[in-house]
């Protein structure tokens, strides 16, 4: 079982076969990893926050929850989660979000640009990148007003999530590029595939 490192502010794509388990690790703590999953046989089928919220009846996914596709098929199941605080509301950070939220900083292509480049060889167009499952991202919601905030993750060094593929998938995965998501410092993400 090989441990892979995603360098700070980069992303990667790879295949994950049905039954395999993807372990995503926060090696230093307080870092976010945006995850996408597409059906390997047809990348027009992709994880859907809206379908998942509907079937799981929650916006807070953790151990036991399934991530569903836009065609209402199970894509991934969370089988272990040492944190229990992730986001499935927000789209990946991008050049446009950098200009909006960090107007005085250098523009970065963000997780969106990193995912678009990594997924292009699999036939995924940038417009087809949906809301990502943002592992370790801390986005509290005020149930009464609907207001959201982006706070530093509560993950500590070594925390991880294990997700089992329910079918053959193409995975996109990042080490997040947005300061507000990770408490202001850019760190790597580790992952491994358990067969």
Q: Which residues bind a second copy (CB under 8 A)?
A: 44-46, 48-51, 53-55, 57-60, 70-72, 89-91, 94, 96-97, 100, 125, 127-131, 140-149
Cβ proximity to a second copy, 23 vs 60, nearer residue: 60
Q: Smallest distance, Å, CB 159 to a second copy?
A: 19
Cβ proximity to a second copy, 48 vs 174, nearer residue: 48
Q: Smallest distance, Å, CB 28 to a second copy?
A: 25
| Exposure letters 17-28 (e unless 16+ CB within 10 A, then b) | eeebbbbbbbbb
Cβ proximity to a second copy, 15 vs 50, nearer residue: 50
Q: Smallest distance, Å, CB 145 to a second copy?
A: 7
d(CA 141, CA 147) in angstroms, rounded, equals 6
Cβ proximity to a second copy, 21 vs 35, nearer residue: 35
| Exposure letters 182-195 (e unless 16+ CB within 10 A, then b) | beeebbbbbbebee
Instruction: Say if residue 107 is exposed, middle or buried (CB neighbours under 10 Å; 0-12, 13-18, 19+).
Output: middle
Q: Smallest distance, Å, CB 32 to a second copy?
A: 14
Hunting for tokens 């360098």 — which residue is that? Answer: 7
Q: Smallest distance, Å, CB 51 to a second copy?
A: 5
Whole-Å CA distances, 186 to 7, 135, 138, 180: 9, 15, 16, 10
């Amino acid at each position: 079982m090989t441990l892979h490192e995603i360098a700070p502010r980069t992303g990667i794509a790879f295949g994950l076969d049905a039954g395999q388990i993807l372990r995503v690790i926060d090696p230093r703590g307080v870092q976010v990893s945006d995850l996408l999953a597409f059906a390997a046989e047809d990348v027009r089928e992709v994880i859907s926050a809206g379908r998942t919220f509907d079937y799981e009846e929650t916006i807070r996914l953790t151990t036991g929850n399934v991530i569903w596709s836009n065609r209402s098929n199970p894509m991934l199941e969370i089988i272990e989660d040492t944190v229990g605080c992730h986001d499935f509301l927000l789209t990946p950070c991008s050049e446009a979000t950098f200009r909006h939220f960090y107007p005085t900083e250098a523009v970065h292509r963000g997780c969106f640009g990193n995912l678009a480049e990594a997924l292009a060889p699999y036939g995924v167009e940038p417009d087809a990148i949906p809301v990502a499952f943002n592992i370790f991202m801390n986005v509290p919601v005020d149930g009464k007003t609907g207001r959201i905030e982006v706070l530093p993750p509560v993950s500590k060094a070594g925390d991880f999530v294990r997700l089992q593929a329910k079918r053959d998938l193409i995975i996109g995965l990042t080490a997040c590029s947005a300061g507000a998501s990770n408490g202001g410092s850019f760190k790597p993400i580790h992952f491994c595939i358990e067969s």
